[in-house]
Each structure stands twice: as C-alpha cells, then as structure tokens.
Amino acid sequence: MPGGISGRCSHQLSFIKINHANWVIDPREGDTAHPLLREITGLSRPQNPELWAKAMPYVLTACHDPGHALIGLLHGSQNRHRLYLGGRRLIGRAAQSTEDYLHAQEGALKAYYSGLEMGDLVSLDFHGLPQISAFIKSAPSMAVVTGIPSGRGEYYSYLKEIEAQGQTIPEPKLFLESMVFEDIAATWEAWTKWNRQLLENSLIGRYAKSRDMFGLAYCIISQAAYEWIGEMLAARNQTVSTEARLLPQNRLQREKIVHALGGMLSIWIKKTEIDEESRAVFNKTYEQLSSLVFSKPPYELPGCSQCPDTCRMLPFVAPYVTTLINKVTPVLLSKQPLQMRLSNLDHITAIIRKNISILDYGKSGAIINQNWLYCLITRFKLKEGTKGQRHRGTKAETPHEKNGNSYTFKLSPQTAVHYDDLMYFLRQPPKETEHKELSDIFGGLSKS
C-alpha cells in the first residue's frame, strides 16, 4: 500500500518556489481535534501489486469527505515499522460524525485491498501514541506533499508492463553520472542519446505518439535518480561505518537533489539544444548535488586537504576500502620504485574499477582514475612511526589500527619517503607530470 501511494504521487509533483515568510502554521481558533488513527495489522499478499497501485486514486477518492482530513502515518522504530490510517475532524465543517467517516473509510479500503485488518482506534496525542507524538513535537524539519494522486499518472505501471513483456528500458545512468563532473556538454549528449534509445523501444515509441512522453521520461529518470543518489549517500557513510545505510539527514538531502533535478528535466525536455535557460538550470542543479554530496568528507583525514578532486570520488571509493585493504597496503609500504608501485596498484584495482562505470569517462578517464586511487589510499591513514613487525605468513609488514571503516598504518622513516612520493604524483594532473611513462600507466587505467 505505501508503494501504491508513493508510486502515484511521484508523477504529479509541481515544482514551485515558496516564500516561507508568507506562511504561518497555526491551528484555527477553536479547532482542537486530534487525528484518530488505526494501525494496519494485516494485509494479504497481492497477486499483482500493480493493480493495487492503479486502484489507489479511486480509494483516496472514496475516502474523501469535506468535513474530515484523510491521514496516513508511517513510523519506524528500530526493527519495527507501523502504518496507521485514519482521519481528523475539521471543526465547523463536518456534517457527519467522525465515527461514520472512519467506518466508511475502512469499507473503502477493504473493498480494494483484500485481507486488510486494522487495530483499535487511538488518538494521536501523548496518551494514545506518546512515542510518535514526542517525535513530531521535536522534529527539526517537516516535508509536505499536497494534492490527490491522479488517475492519469500511469507511467510507472506502464513501465512495469513493458518490463513484464521482456523489453529492456534504457537506463539514464550515463546522464546522471555526467552531472558529477559539472560537464554540461557531456550531460546534454548523454541526455539526447538516452532519449533516442527510449524512442527506439517499440512499446515506448508507440506510447510517445499518443500520450505524454515527458511524464514517461520524467518517471524513469526520477526513479533512477532516487536510487542513484541514495546509493552515493549511503556509500559515503561507509567511511564511518562498515554498513552502507542512509541516515535521516541523507533522506532529506536526497529529496532536495531529486527536487532540483525535476526542475531541470522540466526545462530540458522542451529543448533541442543548450541555451542560456538550460545552462542556468543545469548549474543550479549541479550546485545542489555538489553541496549535498561532494562538498566535504564526513571527517577529515591526512591528505584530504590536498585532494585534487575534493570528495567527488568518495562515494565510489568507500565501498571498496575493506576489500582492498590487504592487497593495496603491501604495495604502499614497499620500497619499490614509483613506476613499479603504480603498475602494481593498477593491476590490483583493475577488476574493481571495471565495475565502476563513472571511472570510464571519455578523455578525462585517466585523471578520474588517478583521483580515485588518491582517495582510496587516503582512506588508509598512513603515518610515520615505529617500524612494525612482519606478520607470520605474510610477505610485507602491515601493522595497522582500525577506526570505523578507515585504517591507520605506521611507516618507517624510509617507507614514509616512498609514500610521500606516490601521493605527490597522484596529486599532479597526468598531462603536467614530468614522467611520461607514468602518465601512460594512468592513461590506460580507464581502458583496462
């Protein structure tokens, strides 16, 4: 049921500017009614979830009453999530009793959703639902979605029907990843290419001739962007935890970025080439993405202040720190010549880099791969100290201390010199280095 609600609402959002100074959130005088809710305690598994999503606009229409506000509440606590549905009486407007309204609401829900079971009626206050009431009272921010989901917004369901027929819907991943590097030309090229691929799909092309192509394209990209941005924010959190999970503030960040992206799409979909308007909205969207995802690391490490590409690579590095720790550090702690260490690092990380599509970014691939390697090595906090003892069964000394999902290694003074040379090289753009043969190594990173 929550999937049905969100699936329908996501296609009918309007992107508007709101002057917060013009809004005052206060109850009407004399309006002291509290929401009355019942927990959803049981629900059958649908044979076809898409049918439930299609039914949602009709269910909401059946639950409408001029004297009552329909209220749904989803609350999570530790490992338990609870879904509540009910309503709130609008004092001075309601013609029927709230009890009658709630009975009608229950009937409408059970008519469409089989196996629905509801708990006892409780008031949303400190007596009926104290934990939720305390959370709402102390919440630092609030997000509001207004409007009734429209029956015309069947884009998501249509896409699922296409997938059910075995046809592949082109992914807009290249379009989204192009934005990471603030490259409007590459982003526009990826956008136009994706649109062509979309129309080459026979079912989508047929749909576009008779219906709203903007809504369909917006639906695909908004769904993909929601997942992509969530993955990047969760990956960043792996720098302080071994788990890739979204924190509450991350969810708000994701909403802001998707909101900005939606405004950009609403303009770009009407353009045949880049103009001042499309350029301005791209810059605004990139600023939002950059400030919320790439602005600074969760915490500073030695090397962060000199990073050639501050925090842009972190979401694509953090998931692989633990995997590469035992393979990369022997190379970092060795006294091999610089060229040999770079070749070894290239070989060790090659398989993982092939799975990170953003590293294969055209002519800039060598620089991006170099910055990725710099960020990876920075996650291993190497510092000069007492020379460690070699562990039995290993070929190199790797004394380290673990802190969250980063590692601190102790270097001998001799090894520290070699490490500093390596990090210095990685901070230099390949085209400006004096070692052409080393540039050639990184020139091949994006092609390996």
How high is the pLDDT of residue 311?
A: 84
Reading the chain (448 residues) residue by residue, the pLDDT tens digits are 333 333 334 334 444 455 666 767 676 777 788 899 999 999 888 877 777 777 777 788 788 888 888 998 888 877 788 999 999 998 887 778 888 889 889 988 888 888 899 999 999 999 999 988 888 888 776 666 655 555 445 666 677 777 777 777 888 888 998 888 888 998 999 999 988 888 777 677 666 665 667 777 777 888 888 888 988 888 888 776 666 677 878 888 888 888 888 889 888 988 889 999 999 999 999 998 998 888 887 777 778 888 888 788 888 888 888 888 888 888 887 888 888 888 888 889 988 888 888 887 666 778 888 888 888 888 876 544 433 333 333 334 444 444 445 445 455 565 666 677 888 888 887 654 444 444 455 444 444 4
Q: Cα(223)–Cα(172) distance, rounded to whole angstroms?
A: 10
How many residues would you count in the chain? 448
Where do the domains of the chain lie?
2-8+29-138, 155-294, 304-443
CA atoms of 34 and 29, how far apart (whole Å): 14
Q: Considering just the CA atoms, what is the radius of gyration of the chain in Å?
A: 27
Beta strands in 289-405 (DSSP E): 380-384, 400-403
> CA-to-CA distance for 212 and 164, rounded, in angstroms?
21
* Cβ 369 vs Cβ 359: under 8 Å: yes
Helices (H), 202-337: 202-210, 213-236, 248-268, 276-289, 314-317, 321-332
Q: Which residues pair with 71 in a beta bridge?
A: 86
Q: At what angle do helices 155-164 and 49-62 cross, to 10 degrees?
A: 160
The CATH code of the domain at 2-8+29-138 is 3.30.70
